Chain A
Amino acid sequence: MALLEIRSLSKVYQRDSQAIPVFENIDLDIDTGEFLVLMGPSGSGKTTLLNLIAGLDEPTTGAIIVGGEEVTAMSRRQLAAWRSDHVGFIFQLYNLLPVLTAYQNVELPLLLTHLSKKERREHVMTALDVVGLSDRADHFPRQLSGGQEQRVAIGRAIVSDPTLILADEPTGDLDAKSADEILTLMQRLNREFDKTILLVTHDQRAAERGEAIMHLDKGVLTR
C-alpha cells in the first residue's frame, strides 16, 4: 500500500516575469517501509521535490498525499503540526543547533509534543542509542566529527517516530568511511524499524543501499 502518493505534481519558479519550470506532471508512489533513492543531476529538482513532500514549499499544481492526508491542501499551521508528527528530515550539512548539546538537539522535535520531561528523556536516549551516540549526549556539535553530527541529526529525525524520513544528500559532506556508517544506519532504520525513507543523492554507492532507484532529469521522473 502506498504511503506517499504524488499526483500530477508541477513546480514552476517565477523570476520577475520569467517562468522557470522545474518539473511537470510528476506521479510517484512510495510504499510503507520502502527505501527509495532519488538521483539526478544538480538543478534537476530533487531537493525541490523533497521540500514539496515535506510541505516546506508549495507546488504550482498537483497533489501530495501522505498516509491518506493531502499535504498540499493544508494550511501553514496544519503543515507545521503534520511535519512534527510525520516527517523526519535529514540535511546534507546536518543543521544542528550549535548552542545545544547532542541530547538537546535530538530533544527538539519532542518539545512540540505533550511528553513529560522524563518521557522525553527516555525517547532521546533511545534515539541516541540507535545512532550509537548515547555516550556523547552532552557534547556540543563542535565537539563531534562530521559523521557523528550527522548521526545526531538522524537521531533528531527519528526521535518522534515519524512516518516518513526524507534525507537530502546526507552523505554529501562526509568522508567515505563516515558516509558508509550513515548509509548502514539508514539501512538499519529501514530494515529493523520499518521506516519509509526517501533518499536524495548524487552518490552511486549511496544509491545502491536503497531498495529502488528513481532518476529525475529535465523534469522527468523515471525508474
Chain B
Amino acid sequence: MKYARLVWVNLIRNKRRTILTTLSVATALFLFVALRSVNTTLEEARHVGSESRMVVRNAISVVFTLPEAYYSWISTVPGVRRVTWGNWFHGIYQDPRDFFPSFAVDVDGYFAIYPEMVIPEDQEQAFRRERTAAMVGTGLMERFGWRLGQTIGLTSLIYSPEQAWPFTIRAVYTPLPGWTDEAFYFHYDYLYEMSDWVQPGWYVLELDDASLAATVAETIDEHYENSRYATRTETERAFQSGLVSMYGNVGLLMNAVGIAVFFAILMVAANAMMMAARERTGEVAVLKTLGFSDRLLFGLVLAEAATITAIGGVLGVIGAKLLFEGTNFQGAGLLPGFEVKLSTAIVGMAIAILLGLISGLVPAWQAARLPVAQTLRRVA
C-alpha cells in the first residue's frame, strides 16, 4: 500500500493521456462484454423450454402448418398427457419496427401446459369468456402504455393483412424467470372465424414423463412420415435451440470481433504505457539510485498499467450492463432478456487486467533493466 501513492501520482501526471487510454480500454471492454453477453444470451435461449414438453411441427419448416385432425390422434399416443396448439400471427401494432411475438392459441389447453405465465384468476376468466380478448405480458403493456380493458388493433402480415384486427386486453400475465414478458396471446377460434383458411402452426404436448420423449417423437413422426403433412417432433428445448440457430453463427462473428478489438486496444494501451515510461527514465534512474530494486520498479510499472486497464474494465462492464438494463432488449420477445452475467463481467475484468499486464510488460522490463549511470549522465 505504501507504494500506491507512487503509482497514483504517475497515473495522474498526464491526465489527458491516462483518461484517453482508460476510455479506450473501457470502450474495448464495453464491446467485449456486450458481444459476449449476446452470445451467452443466445446460448441460454437454447435452454429455454421444458424437457417434458414437446413440439410437433411441420417437417419441412415451422412456417408450414399441420392439420387440425392430428390433434385427436396425437392425444392418444401413449405417454402424452395433454395436447394443445398455437399459431404464429405476426401482428403489428402501428409501427412494423415495434415487433413482438403474437400467437393464436387453444385457450383451454394452452395455459394448462404453460405454468410459466402467472395470471390473476378474474382476468383469466375474463380472457376465456370473450372471443376477441387478448392476454399480454407485463413488458409489452409497459412498452406500448396499454391498459387493461383497452381495445387495440393489430395488423397481421399473414392473415388478412389489409385489415386491423381488434383485440380487447382482458388479462395481463407476469412471467416466471426465463419466460418473455413481451408476448401477445389470443383465441385461436377468433383467428379461425376471421380467416378464410387456417390450421394449427404447431402442437405442444405435455408428457407423463420426460424420459418418454424419444419414444413419443418416434411414434408420431413415423405415423405421419408418408402423409402430406409429415411431422417433426422434438422437445421444446430442442425446438427453441432450432429457432436460435436461425440467427446463424453469431457466436463466431462476436468472438472474431471481440478478439480484433482486444488486440487493437492492447496496442493502444501498450503504446501509451511505453510513452509514459520513456518520459520517466530519468526518474527511474533516480529511484534506482535511492535503492529501489529492479523487481520493485518492474512491479510498479506493471501496477500502473494494470490500474489503468482495471479502471477501464470496470467502466466498460458497467457501460454494457447499463446498455442491456436500459434497453431491456429481448430479441423481439423470442429470447430471454439480454443481461451481463457475473461470469461475463469476471472474464471481462480478467481480460482487462491481463491486458494491462501485457501492455506494461515491455516498459516494466525496460525500467527494471535501465542502466543507471548512462541514464543519469544523459538527463544531467
Interface residues of A (CB under 8 A from B): 47-48, 51, 54, 56-57, 76-77, 80-85, 87, 89, 91-93, 95, 97, 99-100, 104, 108-109, 111-112, 117, 156
The range of chain B's interface size is: 20 to 34
What 1/0 mask marks residues of chain B from 130 to 169 whose CB sits below 8 Å from any chain A CB? Answer: 0000000000000000000000000000000000000000
Chain A residues whose C-beta falls within 8 Å of the C-beta of B289 in the assembled complex:
54, 56, 83, 89
**CB <8 Å contact, B379 and A93:** yes
**CB <8 Å contact, A99 and B290:** no
**CB <8 Å contact, B373 and A117:** no
What 1/0 mask marks residues of chain B from 9 to 35 whose CB sits below 8 Å from any chain A CB? Answer: 110110000000000000000000000
**CB <8 Å contact, A97 and B373:** no
In the bound complex, how far is the Cα of B379 from the Cα of A47, in angstroms? 13
**CB <8 Å contact, A77 and B294:** yes
**CB <8 Å contact, B295 and A100:** no
**CB <8 Å contact, A80 and B291:** yes
Chain A residues whose C-beta falls within 8 Å of the C-beta of B194 in the assembled complex:
none
In the bound complex, how far is the Cα of B377 from the Cα of A56, in angstroms? 11
Stretch in B71-79, B87-95, B280-288, B334-342 with 4+ CB within 8 Å of A: B280-288
A to B CB contacts below 8 Å, 13 in the list: A57-B373, A76-B293, A77-B293, A80-B291, A83-B291, A85-B291, A91-B380, A95-B286, A97-B283, A99-B9, A100-B9, A112-B292, A156-B290
In the bound complex, how far is the Cα of B170 from the Cα of A14, in angstroms? 93
8 Å CB contact of A81 from B2, B5, B10, B293: B293
**CB <8 Å contact, B372 and A99:** no
Asked if B247 CB lies within 8 Å of chain A CBs, one says no
Residue among A80, A108, A156 having the largest count of chain B Cβ atoms under 10 Å: A80
In the bound complex, how far is the Cα of B372 from the Cα of A57, in angstroms? 7
Known contacts A56-B289, A95-B286, A104-B5; A51 and B294 CB within 8 A of each other: no
Asked if B3 CB lies within 8 Å of chain A CBs, one says yes
